[in-house]
């Protein structure tokens, strides 16, 4: 049985002091949980504040939204996996569609980052997803398979279970559109590609999150799907009460 994993992707929002107040309300909303994994993913500047506040609930993990693949060097403006590990960061989002579309990240770049994260002991939340055009022209399976094969190239099967995949169709991010049945079909397909890359037993252990317009009121229908192992939440995670509600609805769905 795969443990559900819920992640709050704050994107470029919340200063370090706003993160402190967020976490204060959040820990009173959500006293404790052990049936699901919860990862808060602030911007780099708010990571120390989030870590300090998360000490009140030991099960909360902190993640980062990006990193460079080199350990150190002349890369102005970049942050390495070593730096994140030194802060006790456990997860890192890689290949988010905003990084791909707005900052030119290619599958090759994402692949270097995935391997560097794993080498440093960070768990990648490796994002994939098709555009609206690719969905409408029924090319989405081809697109997803390409992203998975290129993004995970050279990752040994034993490391694959450390990776969390996040299926985020671009047409669902920030648009209010979600489609649980279409998501389940994509998740089952993603798992079949992972099985081809490794073996059936390994693929069964890899967690695949869904992301794109997740809100407290659509959690239940998403979590009912067999291959949806968690959620990557953007907009709705910026309100501590709504993210806490998403956690409670997930706990209720798995109970
Ligand atoms: P959204 O973003 O929940 O605001 O659609 C999800 C994401 O981009 O990770």
* Per-residue confidence band for 36, with pLDDT thresholds at 50, 70 and 90: very high
pLDDT digits (tens, 9 = 90+) for 73-112: 999 999 999 999 999 999 999 999 999 999 999 999 999 9
pLDDT category at 34 given cuts 50, 70, 90 is confident
Rounded to the nearest whole angstrom, what is the distance from the C-alpha of residue 211 to the centroid of ligand 1?
A: 6
Question: What are the angstrom distances between the C-alpha of 224 and each of 102, 167, 219, 249?
Answer: 33, 16, 9, 11
- Phi/psi of residue 75, nearest 5 degrees: -135, 70
Mean pLDDT, residues 121-131 = 97
Is the beta carbon of 168 within 6 A of some atom in ligand 1? Answer: yes
Any atom of ligand 1 within 6 Å of the Cβ of 147: no
- Which pLDDT score, from 0 to 100, does residue 163 have? 98
Three-class SS of the chain: CCCEEEEEECCCCCCHHHHHHHHHHHHHHCCCCCCEEEEEECCHHHHHHHHHHHCCCCCEEEEECCCECCCCCCCCCCCEHHHHHHCCCCEEEECCHHHHHHCCCCHHHHHHHHHHHHHHCCEEEEEECCCHHHHHCCCHHHHHHHHHHHHCCCCCHHHHCCCEEEECCHHHCCCCCCCHHHHHHHHHHHHHHHHHHCCHHHHHHCEEEEECCCCHHHHHHHHCCCCCCEEEECHHHCCHHHHHHHHHHHHHHHC
Q: Using one digit for the tens of pLDDT, what is the confidence trace for 156-186?
A: 999 999 999 999 999 998 888 888 899 999 9
- pLDDT, residue 244, reads 96
pLDDT tens-digit profile of 192-250? 999 999 999 999 999 999 999 999 999 999 999 999 999 999 999 999 999 999 999 99
Q: How many angstroms separate the CA atoms of 163 and 184, rounded?
A: 19
The answer for 79, left when phi > 0, alpha when psi is -120 to 50, beta otherwise, is beta
CB of 9 shorter than 6 A to ligand 1? yes
pLDDT one-digit tens code per residue, 49-62: 999 877 877 789 99
Report which protein residue has its CA nearest ligand 1's atom 9: 234
Q: Pocket of ligand 1, candidates 212, 213, 232: which has the most ligand atoms within 8 Å of its Cβ, to mutate? A: 212
pLDDT band at 30; cut points 50, 70, 90: confident
Task: Determine whether 96 is an active site residue.
Answer: yes
Q: Pairing between strand 164-167 and 230-233?
A: unpaired
Q: What is the mean pLDDT of residues 118-130?
A: 98
User: 125: number of CA atoms within 13 Å, CB side?
Assistant: 33
Given the residues 105, 130, 134, 168, select the one marked as catalytic.
168
Report yes or no: 163 and 118 within 8 Å, Cβ to Cβ: yes
Give the C-alpha separation, 118 to 15, whole Å: 28
Report whether residue 233 contacts ligand 1, using a CB cutoff of 6 Å. Answer: yes
Residue with tokens 């794109």: 212
Q: What is the pLDDT of residue 59?
A: 86
Over residues 3-17, the mean pLDDT reads 97
Provide the whole-model pTM.
Answer: 0.97
First to last CA, the chain: 13
Confidence at 17, pLDDT banded by 50, 70, 90: very high
Ligand 1 centroid–CA 76 distance in Å is 28
pLDDT of residue 52: 87
Tell how far the Cα of 11 is from the centroid of ligand 1, in angstroms.
9
């Amino acid at each position: 049985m795969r443990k559900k994993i819920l992640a709050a992707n704050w994107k470029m929002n919340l200063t370090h002091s706003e993160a402190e107040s967020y976490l204060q309300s959040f820990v009173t909303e959500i006293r404790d949980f052990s049936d699901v994994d919860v990862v808060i993913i602030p911007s780099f500047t708010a990571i120390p504040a989030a870590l300090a506040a998360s000490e009140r609930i030991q099960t909360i993990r902190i993640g980062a939204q990006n990193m460079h693949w080199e350990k150190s060097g002349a890369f102005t403006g970049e942050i390495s996996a070593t730096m994140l590990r030194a802060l006790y960061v456990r997860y890192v989002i890689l290949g988010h569609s905003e990084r791909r579309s707005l900052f030119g990240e290619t599958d090759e770049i994402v692949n270097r980052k995935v391997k560097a994260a794993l080498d440093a002991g960070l768990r990648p939340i490796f994002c994939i997803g098709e555009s609206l055009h690719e969905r409408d022209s029924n090319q989405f399976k081809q697109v997803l398979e390409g992203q998975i094969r290129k993004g995970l190239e050279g990752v040994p099967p034993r490391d694959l279970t450390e990776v969390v995949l996040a299926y985020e169709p671009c047409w669902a991010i920030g648009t209010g559109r979600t489609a649980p049945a279409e998501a389940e079909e994509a998740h089952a397909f993603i798992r079949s590609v992972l099985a081809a890359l490794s073996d059936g037993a390994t693929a069964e252990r890899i967690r695949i999150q869904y992301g794109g317009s997740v809100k407290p009121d659509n959690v239940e229908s998403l979590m009912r799907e067999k291959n949806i192992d968690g959620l990557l939440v953007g907009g709705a995670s910026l309100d501590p009460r709504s993210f806490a509600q998403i956690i409670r609805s997930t706990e209720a769905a798995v109970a």
